């Protein structure tokens, strides 16, 4: 069984830790590799290598850093199909979804190619007579990222392309469940000309995470994961004097108005709730049907679900939906469906007993819809992270907005309507950082920030866009005065 090495100082190295964690193929339920549960000593070695590489990388002109990103983009395009297949194999998502995962990551590399423009400061002459002022954006130093399993390419690439383009050195702790994609990308980074030590990978679990949070040589931490862990990461990182951006979980509400166009709305609900098997923080997990909207939209959605194929994603014939990440997670999702049903929910599409004949050991949950869910039902407020859509009923738009704003998360919220008035009211009043109008997954592109609110984000500066640049840099302001001949007490005329 292959044990993946760490990348430290530009060299692949064996971890000092003896404990290993399996890497599974969710489609088949079999093990394909293992990763070391690296120690604090491994983290320290990566930090020391990064600190050694930082002075020269910082002095590398932004346009030369951008050239590394340009070369990397070309290499990623060349290996796009193979990388997508690898994502499908280690994660279980379909090839179409894997390509989307990688494409969105590539967009972050493209954005980082704009480093010379993104890092420009500001200046103003004559803030007082003969005195000028200007600002510079300078790198922080050594920074780190801790990633979840659900997007093996995109989420790590939310972080390190911008961090590197800004002149920092980066240490990545990928999810131990999906470490292989970034392993290959790291090889391409080296091929693109990135100097040794500028980018490191340290595999592991709790010990590695704690070491990253506590190490005095690390200036900033980026994290994506569940809300309880995101909050803990934020608090501990701040306690140790680090800048932290920590993205947590979500419970995204999809409000359906009676005037919504039935066919595209049902298709959008399918893609939002069941895309990537529901394992994404922008998944639509609660639909709020206003008035007669439920009776108009739900039958069409159930018909769509009946035609969806669930199965392995590592072959030529692709299903509509793949497996969830582990057997334990499959069992948890099934338990939450049963809990929702026991508390009054009506299961109108049931994926608990999904059977896949050619992959009997895979981790499968079929697309599930639970109607007539109220706020007393845990399934309406718990992040399930699986292919489950709960349906609530509301009499008015006001009632629907109140339901969406009552929950503690605040990643995304969407409305389906043909009314500009309703859309404007929803956009203005809903308490979520990313809003969709007739869009089921309102995730922004690389040049906009990923703006989660409430308990979906801890920190001040979000990932992506100019906020990402601001997070990975600090400002230096210089005030300059040059004296005229004979002016001032430090100039003496002969």
Q: Is the pLDDT of residue 16 over 90?
A: no
Q: Is the pLDDT of residue 405 over 60?
A: yes
Predicted local confidence at residue 162, as pLDDT: 98
Q: What is the mean pLDDT of residues 405-420?
A: 96
Confidence of residue 325 (pLDDT cuts 50, 70, 90): very high
Q: Is the pLDDT of residue 377 over 80?
A: yes
Question: What does the pLDDT look like over 352-365, one tens digit per residue?
Answer: 989 999 999 999 99
Q: Give start and end residues of each alpha helix (H) in 201-353.
A: 206-214, 227-239, 262-274, 293-306, 327-342
Q: Is the pLDDT of residue 25 over 80?
A: yes
Question: What does the pLDDT look like over 71-82, one tens digit per residue?
Answer: 999 999 999 999
Predicted local confidence at residue 276, as pLDDT: 97
Rounded to 5 degrees, φ, ψ at 193 are 105, 15
Distances (CA, A) of 139 to 62, 163, 167, 469, 474: 11, 8, 5, 10, 6
Neighbours of 118 (CB within 10 A): 22
Q: What is the b/e burial string over 177-216, where b = at least 16 CB atoms within 10 angstroms of the residue's CB?
A: bbbbbbbebbebbbebebeebbbbbbbbbebbbebbbebe
Predicted local confidence at residue 376, as pLDDT: 86
Which of 50, 7, 48, 8 has the alpha carbon at shortest distance from 169? 50
Task: Tell me if 71 sits within 8 A of 193, measured CB to CB.
Answer: yes
Confidence of residue 260 (pLDDT cuts 50, 70, 90): very high
Predicted local confidence at residue 490, as pLDDT: 55
Q: Is the pLDDT of residue 486 over 70?
A: no
Q: Does domain 6-248+464-479 have CATH number 3.40.605.10?
A: yes
Question: What does the pLDDT look like over 290-310, one tens digit per residue?
Answer: 999 999 999 999 999 999 999
The token duo for 136 is: 């510079």
Predicted local confidence at residue 202, as pLDDT: 98
Predicted local confidence at residue 205, as pLDDT: 96
CATH class of residue range 252-437: alpha beta
How far, in Å, CA of 145 to CA of 223, rounded?
Answer: 6
The percent of residues in the chain predicted with pLDDT above 90, rounded, is 95
In the set 113, 166, 276, 281, the catalytic residue is 281
Q: Is the pLDDT of residue 493 over 90?
A: no
Q: Residue ranges per domain, the chain?
A: 6-248+464-479, 252-437
Q: What is the mean pLDDT of residues 21-49?
A: 97
Neighbours of 229 (CB within 10 A): 17
Q: Is the pLDDT of residue 48 over 90?
A: yes
How far, in Å, CA of 436 to CA of 272, rounded?
Answer: 11
Neighbours of 346 (CB within 10 A): 12
Q: Give start and end residues of each alpha helix (H) in 60-172.
A: 62-78, 80-91, 95-112, 115-118, 154-165
Q: What is the mean pLDDT of residues 238-248?
A: 98
The token duo for 312 is: 């392995």
How far, in Å, CA of 107 to CA of 94, rounded?
Answer: 20
Which residue is listed with tokens 């070369």? Answer: 71
Question: What does the pLDDT look like over 107-136, one tens digit per residue?
Answer: 999 999 999 999 999 999 999 999 999 999
How far, in Å, CA of 421 to CA of 427, rounded?
Answer: 10
Chain centroid offset of residue 38 CA: 23
Task: Tell me if 287 sits within 8 A of 251, measured CB to CB.
Answer: no
Q: Is the pLDDT of residue 489 over 70?
A: no
Confidence of residue 150 (pLDDT cuts 50, 70, 90): very high
User: What is the helix, strand, coil percentage profile of the chain, to 5?
Assistant: 40, 20, 40
Q: What is the mean pLDDT of residues 474-486?
A: 89
Task: Tell me if 386 sits within 8 A of 333, measured CB to CB.
Answer: yes
Please indicate whether the domains covering 6-248+464-479 and 252-437 agree at the CATH topology level.
no
pTM: 0.95
Cross-strand bridge partners of residue 255: 288, 415
Q: What is the mean pLDDT of residues 474-485?
A: 91
Task: Tell me if 184 sits within 8 A of 83, measured CB to CB.
Answer: yes
How far, in Å, CA of 246 to CA of 437, rounded?
Answer: 26
Predicted local confidence at residue 483, as pLDDT: 86
In the residue annotation, 113 being an active-site residue is answered as no
Question: What does the pLDDT look like over 413-442, one tens digit per residue?
Answer: 999 999 999 999 999 999 999 999 999 999
How far, in Å, CA of 367 to CA of 22, rounded?
Answer: 27
Confidence of residue 488 (pLDDT cuts 50, 70, 90): low
Q: Is the pLDDT of residue 166 over 80?
A: yes
Mean pLDDT of the chain: 96
Q: What DSSP designation does 93 have? A: -
């Amino acid at each position: 069984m292959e044990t993946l090495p760490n990348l430290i100082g530009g060299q692949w190295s064996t971890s000092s830790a003896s404990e290993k964690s399996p890497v599974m193929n969710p489609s088949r339920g079999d093990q394909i590799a293992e990763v070391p549960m690296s120690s604090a000593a491994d983290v320290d070695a990566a930090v020391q290598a990064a600190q050694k590489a930082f002075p020269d990388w910082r002095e590398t002109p932004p346009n030369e850093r951008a050239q590394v990103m340009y070369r990397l983009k070309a290499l990623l395009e060349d290996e796009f199909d193979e990388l997508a297949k690898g994502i499908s194999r280690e994660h279980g998502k379909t090839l179409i979804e894997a390509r989307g995962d990688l494409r969105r990551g590539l967009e972050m590399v493209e954005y980082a190619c704009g480093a010379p423009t993104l890092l420009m400061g500001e200046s103003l002459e004559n803030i007082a007579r003969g005195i000028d002022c200007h600002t510079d954006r300078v790198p922080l130093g050594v920074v780190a990222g801790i990633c979840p399993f659900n997007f093996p390419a995109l989420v790590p690439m939310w972080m390190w392309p911008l961090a590197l383009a800004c002149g920092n050195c980066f240490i990545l702790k990928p999810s131990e469940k999906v470490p292989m994609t970034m392993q290959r990308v790291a090889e391409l980074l080296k091929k693109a000309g990135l100097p040794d030590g500028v980018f490191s990978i340290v595999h592991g679990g709790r010990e590695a995470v704690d070491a990253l949070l506590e190490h005095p040589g690390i200036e900033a931490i980026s994290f994506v994961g569940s809300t309880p862990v995101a909050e803990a990461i934020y608090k501990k990182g701040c306690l140790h004097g680090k800048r932290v951006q920590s993205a947590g979980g979500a419970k995204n509400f999809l409000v359906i108005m009676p005037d919504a166009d039935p066919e595209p709305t049902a298709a959008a609900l399918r893609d939002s709730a069941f895309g990537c098997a529901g394992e994404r923080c922008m998944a639509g997990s609660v639909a709020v049907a206003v008035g007669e909207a439920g009776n108009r939209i739900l039958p069409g959605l159930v018909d769509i679900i009946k035609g969806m194929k669930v199965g392995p994603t590592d072959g030529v014939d692709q299903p509509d939906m793949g497996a969830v990440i582990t057997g334990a997670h499959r069992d948890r999702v099934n338990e939450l469906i049963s809990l929702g049903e026991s508390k009054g929910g009506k299961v109108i599409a049931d994926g608990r007993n999904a059977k896949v004949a050619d992959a009997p050991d895979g981790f499968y949950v079929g697309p599930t819809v639970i109607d007539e869910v109220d706020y007393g039902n845990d399934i309406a407020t718990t992040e399930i992270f699986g292919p489950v859509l709960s349906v609530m009923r509301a009499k008015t738009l006001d009632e629907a907005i109140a339901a969406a704003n009552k929950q503690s998360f605040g990643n995304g919220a969407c409305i389906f309507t043909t009314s500009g008035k309703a859309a404007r009211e929803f956009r203005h009043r809903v308490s979520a950082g990313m809003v969709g109008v007739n869009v089921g997954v309102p995730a922004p592109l690389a040049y906009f920030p990923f703006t989660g609110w409430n308990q979906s984000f801890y920190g001040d500066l979000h990932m992506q866009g100019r906020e990402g640049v601001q997070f990975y840099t600090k400002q230096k302001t210089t005030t300059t005065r040059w004296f005229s001949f004979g002016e001032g007490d430090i100039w003496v005329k002969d």
